[in-house]
Amino acid sequence: MKDKKLPVHVAVIMDGNGRWAKKRNLPRIFGHREGAKSVRAVTEAAAEAGIKYLTLYAFSTENWKRPEKEVDFLMGLLENHLKTELPVMMKNNVRLHTIGNILALPERVQKKLKIVKRKTSSNTGLNLVLALNYGARDEITAAVRKIAFNAKKGLINPCKIGHEDISRQLYTADIPDPDLLIRTSGEMRISNFLLWQIAYSELYVTKVLWPDFRKKEFLKALREFSRRERRFGGI
């Protein structure tokens, strides 16, 4: 990939764990377990390729609607994944970030996230961003509220509010917008993910289910990106 035009920031909607398990007549949790292996594979591939930011849609605000047992399993899987993957992140110079309402997650998960973020804070390679309890509409709504409060206090002129003012109030204030958005499993929708930030992102949809999406498939998406011409509305 050294001779290819690479994205700075890749965002991924990881979809298809349940269907992967169903195709094999297995409970959904087996799909989630296998999907966790893809997280490691894609993270390592992104680090090796020199990608600066990788954002993974790990748990949405809508995912709380799933059966309680499945949600509990996902929280436990996340906690365990953070524990086992910390040495891998240190080895690959990966720094962990999160976006979303983290305070609504179980306390044990919050503690583990804080530990891993602190221990990886000096790493200078790939920035791995986990979107947890994340919903783009909630994010934008919260940003609008902050701007409205500032306007009410006279700290900002409503007539001069611009794109940057909104961007600065989002979870991703210090993160560049995604250049490439990948969605696995073939579904043609955004699912309330980074709605503001992906305004000019290149979209790549594959029918490959997330548990089968490993390094080869990730590099395929990068190669497809390298062939595209980005005009940002120009000629």
Q: If residue 57 lies in a helix (H) or strand (E), which one and from where to where?
A: strand 53-60
Mean pLDDT, all residues of the chain: 96
Q: How confident is the model at residue 3 (pLDDT cuts 50, 70, 90)?
A: low
pTM over 0.75: yes
- Residue written as token pair 């930030």: 197
Position 165 in a domain: no
Instruction: Write the DSSP symbol of residue 176.
Output: P
Residue 155 lies in a domain: no
Q: Is the pLDDT of residue 118 over 70?
A: yes
Rounded CA-CA distance 103/86 in Å is 21
Distance CA 52, CA 9 (A): 6
Total of domains in the chain: 1
In a domain, 166, yes or no: no
**Residue 1 forms part of a structural domain:** no
Question: What is the structure's pLDDT at 232?
Answer: 76
In a domain, 195, yes or no: yes
**What are the residue numbers of the active site?**
15, 63
Q: Please indicate, yes or no, if residue 152 is contained in any of the structural domains.
A: no
- Cβ count near 197 (within 10 Å): 23
Structural domain boundaries enclosing 117:
9-135+180-226
Does residue 62 fall inside a structural domain? yes
Q: In this structure, what CATH number is given to the domain that contains residue 33? A: 3.40.1180.10
